[in-house]
Amino acid sequence: MSDGQRSGAGTQIWLQLTILCLWHDGSQETRLRDDSILPFSAFLTDNFGRRHNYLRISLTEKCNFRCQYCMPEEGVKLTPRGQLLSTSEVLTLARLFVQEGVDKIRLTGGEPLIRPDVLHIITQLRKLEGLKTIAVTTNGMNLARLLPNLKEAGLDLINISLDSLVPAKFEFIVRRKGFHKVMEGIEKAIELGYSPVKINCVVMRGLNEDELLDFAALTEKKPLEVRFIEYMPFDGNKWNFKKMVSYQEMLDRIRQKWPDLEMLQAGQTDTAKTFKVPGFKGQLGFITSMSDHFCGSCNRLRITADGNLKVCLFGNSEVSLRDVLRSGASDEELLQIIGAAVGRKKKQHAGMFSISQMKNRPMILIGG
């Protein structure tokens, strides 16, 4: 099929009432789209009306850290190289999703910046018409060295993982050295004009919850958004409810120090509850996946490094787009499979205690 034919097919999908008949749990479900939500692809709209315009693509399962909440201490069995998505496959899937309405792509891992062709991938993504935002989530280890070229290639947003401001504790959490390189990467991002630079901090009781105020204080003079993330259960991270510090507890602690902390208005699909201390340059965010989920406004889909589509971070349902792609399937056949997977997306995740018992990938094999 030519590009013109694909464009025409996409237009037909957008401009007509679309009926997708999906088999789900043994019964036939009909999803209708009408002019009230056009233009957006029916294939990326689920049964609850959630439109998925944000795609997270894991570029690699490899990482130069071994974070406690992300992977087991003994590591994970990596997928053979030939079963990982190639550069052309990553770009083919990205093009298809953008064609259907995705306007933001985040590159994750593993550690995405250790993939040798990451600059080429970003350069090619930048050429996709309709893609507004290219983001990356990184551990920051190689960021200072690579960021000038990443920015030139078209990188818009940066999230940097940092779970302690104490070098020894940092090394205990990530099981590697590198604290000063990560801090250098944060400073380089600020220097190059990224604002805000987002800092992802997974808060774990007995480990780093005593640093909440120190992290919050970083936002006084720097254009940072420090995002405190509730500890979430994944295979191999030995999750325990007692180690989870809830959003409300974190907020209360910070408000004791800064009682005038004010909540900012959130966008419809924002995952973070954001706050700001008046007069501070930056702001704070809380990712409340466990204590106060935001499933109702979820607009995210994930593609793992081995090419599986996950419609929910906390679900164990996956479908291989890699295998379909390698079978020579057309765009339309791929879209039917994507649409069926999106149509099976549940209203909300099962809750933290059920998730903790559910078989799922370690975080490093999902891609965040």
Residue 154 domain-assigned (yes or no):
yes
Which comes out higher in pLDDT, residue 34 or 210?
Answer: 210
Is residue 140 scored above 90 in pLDDT? yes
Mean pLDDT of the chain: 85
Per-residue DSSP letter, 128:
S
Is residue 356 scored above 50 in pLDDT? no
Q: Which residues are bridge partners to 230 per DSSP?
A: 203
Per-residue DSSP letter, 86:
P
Residue 308 domain-assigned (yes or no):
yes
- Helix pair 143-153, 179-191: axis angle to 10 deg: 30
Residue 90 domain-assigned (yes or no):
yes
Residue 140 domain-assigned (yes or no):
yes
Is residue 200 scored above 80 in pLDDT? yes
Residue 7 domain-assigned (yes or no):
no
Per-residue pLDDT at 240: 65
The pTM for the full model equals 0.85
Residue 46 domain-assigned (yes or no):
no
Is residue 237 scored above 90 in pLDDT? no
Rounded Cα gap, residues 252 and 247, in angstroms: 9
Q: How far apart are the first and last CA of the chain?
A: 34
Residue 101 domain-assigned (yes or no):
yes
Rounded Cα gap, residues 321 and 327, in angstroms: 10
Per-residue pLDDT at 38: 46
Is residue 358 scored above 60 in pLDDT? no
Is residue 16 scored above 80 in pLDDT? no
Q: Are 121 and 136 within 8 A, CB to CB?
A: no
**Extended strands (E) in the chain:** 18-24, 27-33, 54-58, 104-108, 133-138, 157-161, 197-203, 224-230, 262-263, 272-276, 283-287, 300-303, 308-310, 318-320
* Least confidently predicted of 140-154, 180-194, 310-324: 310-324
Is residue 245 scored above 60 in pLDDT? yes
CATH at 284: 3.20.20.70
Q: CA dihedral defined by 24, 26, 27, 30, rounded to 10 degrees?
A: 20
3-state secondary structure of 297: helix
pLDDT confidence bin for 365, thresholds 50/70/90: low
Q: Give the chain's domain count.
A: 1
Q: What is the pLDDT of residues 248-283, one digit of tens each?
A: 999 999 999 999 999 999 888 788 899 999 999 999
Per-residue b or e along 215-231, where b marks 16 or more CB atoms closer than 10 Å to that residue's CB: bbbbbeebebbbbbbbb
Distances (CA, A) of 106 to 9, 57, 122, 278: 26, 6, 10, 30
Six token digits for residue 5: 């034919």
Percent of the chain with pLDDT over 70: 81
Phi, psi of 309 (to 5 degrees): -90, 125
Q: What is the pLDDT of residues 61-87, one digit of tens each?
A: 999 998 888 777 777 889 999 999 999
Neighbours of 54 (CB within 10 A): 21
Per-residue DSSP letter, 79:
P
Q: Which domain holds residue 84?
A: 51-366
pLDDT confidence bin for 26, thresholds 50/70/90: very low
* CB proximity list for 347: less than 8 A, separation 6 or greater: 48, 295, 296
Phi, psi of 35 (to 5 degrees): -65, -15
* CB proximity list for 34: less than 8 A, separation 6 or greater: 17
Per-residue pLDDT at 100: 97
Residue 178 domain-assigned (yes or no):
yes
